[in-house]
Amino acid sequence: MLNYLVSLLFICVFFSPLWASPLVDFQVAQPLTLPSDAKQCTVKILERTFAFSYGSPEVVSYTPATDCGTPGSWAGISLNLTVTSNGTQYDRLGIFTLNNVEIWRTSTPEPTRGDGIIWTYLKDVTRYTPLFAVPGTFTLELDNLIETGLDGEYASVLYATFYASSAQHPPGLHADVILPISTLANNSGDLISVPPTFSLNVTVPRNAISIYAEIIPSGNGDEEFWCFNIPNQWLNDLPADTTFGYGPFREVRLMVDGSVVGVVFPYVVVFTGGIAPTLWRPITSYGALDLPTFYVDLTPFVPVLTDGQPHNISMDVVSAENDHEINQNWYLTANLQVVTDKSSTKPTTGKITVYDVQPFAETTTFGSVKNGVVSTTVTATRNIHIESDIISGSGERTHVVWLQSLSYSNVQTYRQNASVQTLRQTTTGSVSSTHNGQSTIVDNFSLPFNVDFTYLTPDWTNWTTSVDHSYNRVAAVHPYVISTTIKNHQTAAAFFQLASTGNFGFGNNSNTFSYSDLNGNTYTWDVSSVNTSITHNAQGGTLAQNHQLPDETSSEVQSIFAKPRLPGRNNP
């Protein structure tokens, strides 16, 4: 018997390198900061293999866990999405919606055939506790297609973990009421598609004293590579189908009864089939598994919104073109995190004392065509200043100051009949809201995005590319979203070849990531890959002890990919 076990062990050790093990894909991010020593209740929310799932999301009934304290009293909530896939497939968008509120937008790494791929992403969703505290409907929309040449299915399982609160671990902080700004459909992820402008009648609790809007934007279709779109005036100076028009500047506007209250200059999310799939394996582009969200303080409009009547909350996405139009389409949703007066149900009143907001950003557009070189420069600046005096039902007076100061610049150059392309984009912002001088929203960011492209053949069937981008952000919504400082710098380079026998390529990717927060948690992760093998992998900081790094030396010889997504139509 012992001999048998020893030889079994020998066989296992000896042959284990031959056992199929999928490539582990991941996005750099900080580990969860929820208390690992709290009592935890983990429940499976849903499990589904998304094959031909277009228009058929997973919709399940949700019931709050009751074994980790009274629903809603939790110290925190996290989600664990784990997905495997084997085959050829595009990246797909994934939308998690609880009671019509989108709580997480993700996308899928592109699979390959053979051993396939697997990924897990853990997400802190404590700020959505009011939604998790009551029974409802949980939806994952992941529109996948199975057709000739595309057979990758996404086998997905989602768990939620509830962390019991205790004397040591107080309940997580969150707003009192969360209202959806979405299509409110019950059979989808409720994404709003703009254009046209989306509008919804919203009635807020009359005793609302603060309202924070969280906005989730992403470009789709002809707007997926929005930052590569060229101003209409120069579109015809490029070979047909090089890119789309309406320029590269995009601003998401949030309006109440037609007045702009706040805007978002979006972060560029490159999905894993974007530009060259071999840039993003096994390390995805930063944000691809957890699309960044942005906050606008709606509190200055509380005196308008608390009259008990429905108000027209609308959103759109506009460009720097004269008509402000864009292509089809952007996907948006928002949610309103509403804080109510604890000691009174009497309505909040007050008045807006400063409203210094232009309908559109200030923009400039330049371009030139010289010696066959087409270049364009688009810049934008945006300053928003709104102040209000608010009197709660219980008599407390609050002076609110909401400020956004954003700037943007995009320089595109097309040489050699557009076969050599460069993009240099910077987006910076300083956003703040104070309530009686106390800082509530802080959002300072710098989001440079630089790409170089060289098509190596006149038919544009192979190319080299490099991407150098960063996500540097200090953000908080005090006290509901703790102040975090994230700095990520990612550089990636790749070669890609389209071929009738199967598209292939190779690439490398390098990330320097750091995280710190107001609770004293710190984390650093430096990770690089070459041709899907991890070549450098080091973590540090207080959060490192609970986090196991992916450790892989890929034996993958050559993978076949779906056609990459590139700027422009039908390219190549």
Ligand X SMILES: *[C@@H]1O[C@H](CO)[C@@H](O)[C@H](O)[C@H]1NC(C)=O
Q: Which of 144, 156, 284, 314 is close enough to bind ligand X by CB under 6 A?
A: 314
Q: Which of 199, 233, 344, 349 binds ligand X (CB under 6 A)?
A: 199
Among 159, 232, 355, 472, interactor with ligand X by CB under 6 A:
159
Instruction: Rank residues 3 and 570 by Cβ distance to ligand X and give the closer one.
Output: 570
- Least distance (Å) between residue 298 CB and ligand X: 15
Kindly state the tokens that stand for 20: 């199929």
Q: For residue 240, list its beta bridge partners.
A: none
184 binding ligand X? (CB under 6 A): yes
Listed in sequence order, the residues at least 6 apart from 120 whose beta carbon sits closer than 8 Å to its beta carbon are 26, 80, 81, 82
| Cα separation, 50 vs 510, whole angstroms | 31
Residue 423 structure tokens? 């993009």
The dihedral built from the CA positions of residue 256, 98, 155 and 65, taken in this order, carries a sign that is: positive
Contact with ligand X (CB under 6 A): which of 444, 446, 454, 521? 444
Q: Which residues contact 342 (CB under 8 A, 6 or more apart)?
A: none
Q: Which stretch binds ligand X (CB under 6 A): 58-66, 291-299, 306-314, 340-348?
A: 306-314
Residue 546 in contact with ligand X, rule: CB under 6 A: no
Residues pairing with 466 in the sheet? 452, 493
Q: Quick one: which segment of 168-176, 198-206, 349-357, 377-385 binds ligand X (CB under 6 A)?
A: 198-206
- Torsional class of 324: left (φ above 0), alpha (ψ -120 to 50), beta (otherwise): left
Decide: is 197 part of the binding site for ligand X (CB under 6 A). Answer: yes
Give the nearest distance from C-beta 199 to ligand X in angstroms.
4
Using the rule CB under 6 A, is 24 a contact of ligand X? no
Indicate the length of the chain as a whole number.
572
Q: Which positions from 86 to 125 touch ligand X by CB under 6 A, shown as an x/- string?
A: xx-------------------------x-xx---x-x---
Contact status: 373 vs ligand X (CB under 6 A): no
Whose Cβ is closer to ligand X: residue 88's or residue 365's?
88
How far is residue 168 CA from its own chain's centroid? 32
Structure tokens at 401: 């100051």
Given 495, 544, 556, 563, the residue binding ligand X (CB under 6 A): 495
369-382 burial, b if ≥16 CB within 10 A, otherwise e?
eeeeebbbbbbbeb
How many whole angstroms from its chain centre is CA 286? 9
Q: Taking CB under 6 A as the rule, does residue 358 contact ligand X?
A: no
Rounded Cα–Cα distance for residues 393 and 260 (Å): 27
- Under the criterion CB under 6 A, does residue 236 sit at the interface with ligand X? no
Vertex 280, ends 32 and 149: CA angle to 5°?
Answer: 120
Among 506, 521, 541, 563, binds ligand X (CB under 6 A): 506
Q: Which of residues 73-92 bind ligand X (CB under 6 A)?
A: 80, 82, 86-87
Residues paired with residue 295 on neighbouring β-strands, in sequence order: 214
Q: Which stretches of the chain bind ligand X, using CB under 6 A?
A: 20, 80, 82, 86-87, 113, 115-116, 120, 122, 157, 159, 184-186, 197, 199-201, 239, 255, 258, 310, 312, 314, 417, 430, 442, 444, 456-457, 461-462, 474, 493, 495, 497, 506, 508, 530-531
